[in-house]
Structure 1
Amino acid sequence: MTQHDHAVWEEAVLAARERARTRQALMVERFGLSGDVRYDWTLDDARIAWSRGGEVFLTGRITMIGSVSLTQGTWLWSWANDSLPPAAVGDMDRVRRFGEANGFPVLPWPGFDAHPGLVAEARMVAASVLDAEGLWADTVEDTQVHFLLHDLTPPAPAA
């Protein structure tokens, strides 16, 4: 593993943050992901769907980045979570390897204290490494789950 250079990490985070900010704003505007939007996701087939007024208007593929235990205050990368379906983990091992190759220890550590700033940085760098269209998060019981969004498309019209 390459030795950590914090200045290089900061540069990577800054570039990833700008990329994520631009893509996120474009995604929200392009697909109308604000207001009275509902969404449902499933880890089993790694899919998400957004609806308005009971009609699905957008679907996509998700990759689970990781999760925050709100009771323990810890982050766990999806690649380190054996309980997740492979479809939901996707290519997250590439993020771990990217961290090893570039001396970014937060990426190959299985978990860490979930400081909000560090979680945000890790999410954005993961989005950049895996060329995600956007980021999404949800809270289930005492766990905050974080996703990358890919392949966003309106559903095909009914025949």
Structure 2
Amino acid sequence: MEDGTEHDHSDWEEVVRAARERARSRQALMIERHGLSGDVQYDWSMDDARITWSRNGTAFLTGRITMIGSVSLSHETWLWSWANDSLPPAVLGDIDRVRAFGEANGFPVLPWPGFDHDPALVAEARMVAASVLDAEGLWADSTDDVQLHFTIHDLKPTAAAGGC
């Protein structure tokens, strides 16, 4: 490893496999349970760390987001949110738990501030982050030349949808 950190790749592969299975089942359940397919729109805010889904202009679901990282398409790099000083504190949630998990288990990709964009490695990092953060799902969005990656937590129907 570049920084001298020892890394057991087979341990990493096992963590990724378990995280991938967990993320797939939770993602499918989130989409099915809350009707997040078809003509659904969404709006998110980093300032208050919220995402809201709507259909035909009526909000029906809201949740908390944690930004886990971003990909700069022009520079082809991944940057963990905990290493991005420009983000509002609310959207960071418990992201430091992901870095600490990487440090404690010798998985350098998690505590490195960033790395060259490799779609497979980004996917692995996202799934492991979702598992460590006990997320209900993952969400991604693109703005300009940046892909933003979030975990979704605490989903609740809105008042308009008959929720709390």
Counterpart of 1:58 in structure 2 is: 61
* 8 Å CA contact 1:65, 1:146 repeated in 2: yes
Among the aligned pairs, what percent are the same residue? 77
Q: How far is the alpha carbon of 1:37 from its aligned partner?
A: 0.5
Distance 2:39 2:75 in 1: 32
* 8 Å CA contact 1:2, 1:102 repeated in 2: no
Distance 2:19 2:85 in 1: 27
Q: How far is the alpha carbon of 1:12 from its aligned partner?
A: 0.1
Instruction: Confirm or deny that 1:31 pairs with 2:34.
Output: yes
Q: How many equivalent residue pairs?
A: 159
Distance 2:40 2:119 in 1: 25
Letter in 2 for 1:103: G
1:56-83: per-residue Cα shift (whole Å, max 9, x none)? 0100000000000011100000000010
Unmatched tracts of structure 1, length 5 or more: none
Report runs of 4+ in structure 1 exceeding 3 Å deviation: none
Q: How far is the alpha carbon of 1:114 from its aligned partner?
A: 1.1
- The within-5 A match list for 1:40-119 is 40-119=43-122
* TM-score, normalised via structure 2 length: 0.94
Residue of structure 1 aligned with 2:132, choices 129, 134, 137: 129
Q: How far is the alpha carbon of 1:43 from its aligned partner?
A: 0.2
Q: How far is the alpha carbon of 1:2 from its aligned partner?
A: 6.9
1:77-131: per-residue Cα shift (whole Å, max 9, x none)? 0000010011101110110010000000000000001100000000000000010
* TM-score, normalised via structure 1 length: 0.97
Partner SS state of residue 67, structure 1: strand
Counterpart of 1:4 in structure 2 is: 7
Partner SS state of residue 28, structure 1: helix
Residue of structure 2 aligned with 1:18, choices 17, 21, 26: 21
Partner SS state of residue 138, structure 2: strand
Distance 1:154 1:89 in 2: 23
Distance 2:58 2:84 in 1: 33
